[in-house]
């Protein structure tokens, strides 16, 4: 599986009425079995890029091809093939973890996935009956990933997946991402976190609305100075 992102443009209207370009002719090529890490300053457009690729926001221009098929013009194919895990989990706080899952999975599939699939790997069975409002940040993030994986998308987009989580939660989530990639999935994540960047097979810096390849050697100070 290969994706080709070409000439993505996205702008917003500012408070003065002028339009500010966030993404400017952005390109990206990637394939299954890769984990792409994107670093950049706050407000540079990292989250916007992921939401555009997931179809949450519409690009002003550009194309997103998977194995030659244009996904932007095929919303159903896009939603089936691309999953987005945002920074703030999009969950129903008043419902239990199980009830949130039932919004995405048939009950029989939940049982199967808890036994030998993605939900079991994420440890969601440990808090299945707990209301979301009572879950820890790490539990919410794992549940959010579990909901996104209901279609088993070949492309998984993660916006700072381990931000503000403790070490054990980070290990659980990154362990899942490593397993996902090892089975042929393509993960694209935004991050400044050394643990997250270390699992990435390629790295990019986002600046001025474009992506530039970056050779990450574990030196976070050097990375930050390059942003």
Reported as a single tens digit per residue, the pLDDT across 29-77 is 999 999 999 999 988 999 999 999 999 999 999 999 999 999 999 999 9
Better pLDDT: 17 or 7: 7
Residue 199 has pLDDT above 90, yes or no: yes
Please provide the average confidence, as pLDDT, over all residues in the chain: 94
Nearest in space to 175 (alpha carbons), one of 150, 142, 140? 142
List, in order of start, the domains of the chain with CATH numbers.
2-87+152-216 (3.40.50.300)
In the prediction, which pLDDT does 19 show?
Answer: 86
Q: Which residues contact 181 (CB under 8 A, 6 or more apart)?
A: 33, 34, 35, 187, 199, 201
Nearest-10 crossing angle of helices 137-148, 167-182: 20
pLDDT class of 89 with cuts at 50, 70, 90: confident
Mean pLDDT along residues 217-227: 89
Q: Which residues contact 117 (CB under 8 A, 6 or more apart)?
A: none
Using the structure block, give the residue that is written with the tokens 């194919």: 77
């Amino acid at each position: 599986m290969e994706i080709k992102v070409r000439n993505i443009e996205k702008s917003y209207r500012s408070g003065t009425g002028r339009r500010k370009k966030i993404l400017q002719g952005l390109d990206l090529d990637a394939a299954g079995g890769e984990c792409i890490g994107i670093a950049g300053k706050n407000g540079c457009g990292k989250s916007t890029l992921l939401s555009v690729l997931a179809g949450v926001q519409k690009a002003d221009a550009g194309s997103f091809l998977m194995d030659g098929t244009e996904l932007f013009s095929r919303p159903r194919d896009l939603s089936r093939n691309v999953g987005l895990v945002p920074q703030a989990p999009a969950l129903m706080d008043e419902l239990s973890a199980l009830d949130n899952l039932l919004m995405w999975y048939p009950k029989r599939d939940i049982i199967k996935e808890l036994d030998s699939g993605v939900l079991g790997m994420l440890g969601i069975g440990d808090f299945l009956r707990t209301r979301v409002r009572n879950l820890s940040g790490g539990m919410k993030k794992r549940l959010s990933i579990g909901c996104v994986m209901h279609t088993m998308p070949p492309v998984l987009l993660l916006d700072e997946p381990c931000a503000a989580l403790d070490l054990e939660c980070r290990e659980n989530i990154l362990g899942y991402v490593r397993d996902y990639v090892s089975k042929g999935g393509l993960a694209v994540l935004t991050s400044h976190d050394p643990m997250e960047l270390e699992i990435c097979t390629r790295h990019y810096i986002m600046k001025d609305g474009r992506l530039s390849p970056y050779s990450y050697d574990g030196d976070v100070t050097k990375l930050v100075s390059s942003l």
